[in-house]
Amino acid sequence: MNTVELCRDKAAPRGSSLHYALLFTETDKRAALLALHAFYAEVTEIVAECRDHQVAAAKLAWWREELARIFEGCGNHPISQALHAPVQRYRLDRHYFEQILEGAQMDLEYNLYPSFRELSLYCHRLGCSIASLSVQVCGYRDRHVFDFAHDLGTALQLTRFLRNVRRYAAAGRCYIPEADMRDAGVDWSDLQRSTTSEPVRRLFTEQAERARRFYAQASQRLPPTERWSQRPALVLGELYRSLLEVMANDHFSLLERRYHLTPLHKLWLAWRTARAQPRSRRPS
């Protein structure tokens, strides 16, 4: 298995949303985006996979050292090796990789966020950083595209938090602000039950509305000249936004089931979204 295949298996296996988001991307950029998202997946899964916090902390420390090696072109991990060429070719900003590692570190320090202010920092470090790196790979001419990346990255994270709320609760983590739960009259233990109560359902509805606002802001902030180059991000955003509406149409029964879009539905949305973007000159 070569590094591209390894990254695909890690980040975008067939049927995943990212798989469909990358279908309409140039081959060289697709390989770079796969490497980025494989790095993201590898790092963010550490805390979930390691019950022992000391082991998780040691793995994150190793990846901080490995990041230096990646930028020196001598990384040891197969994902690092897949990143060597993209880092140089697209002049990827090391700061965003460091932010992803800082976001993963927050999972060692927080299992519940007091307010959206703290949670938004987590979203910024993870969702916004991987979105910004993707912007650099896809190319841009107008730096306002990074405002789009910020809002889209936040919206994607908020959607993931909702979709996986039951799994996170079972692992002892929650990505719904404590202040929002208190205002809704919901306790953390309510998220660990097998049925979705009406107060919890209203809480989920409010969280979904926040995600919708970020999707809308992202669309408004993307310069028209950048829509063609940012097709992968637009497709991914449409897939997640559609998933959010599927959950809403079923009244957010998130403690009873985990929601999916069918492969055919994903393919249709990906094709329609990519096809709708106006062509522009190749970005520098």
pLDDT band at 102; cut points 50, 70, 90: very high
pLDDT at 127 over 50: yes
Angle at CA of residue 160, ends 147 and 182, nearest 5°:
95
Over range 80-109, report the average pLDDT.
Answer: 96
pLDDT mean across residues, the chain: 94
Q: How far apart are the first and last CA of the chain?
A: 33
- Percent of the chain predicted with pLDDT > 70: 98
pLDDT of residue 283: 46
Q: CA 6, CA 281: separation in Å to the nearest integer?
A: 32
pLDDT at 282 over 80: no
Furthest-apart CA atoms within the chain: distance in Å? 54
pLDDT at 274 over 80: yes
DSSP calls for 248-267? HHTTT-TTT------HHHHH
Domains of the chain are 1-10+21-109 (no CATH), 111-263 (1.10.600.10)
More confident of the two residues 49 and 60: 60
CB atoms within 10 A of CB 117: 10
Chain segment 199-256, per-residue pLDDT in tens: 999 999 999 999 999 999 999 999 999 999 999 999 999 999 999 999 999 999 999 9
pLDDT of residue 254: 97
pLDDT band at 280; cut points 50, 70, 90: low
pLDDT of residue 4: 87
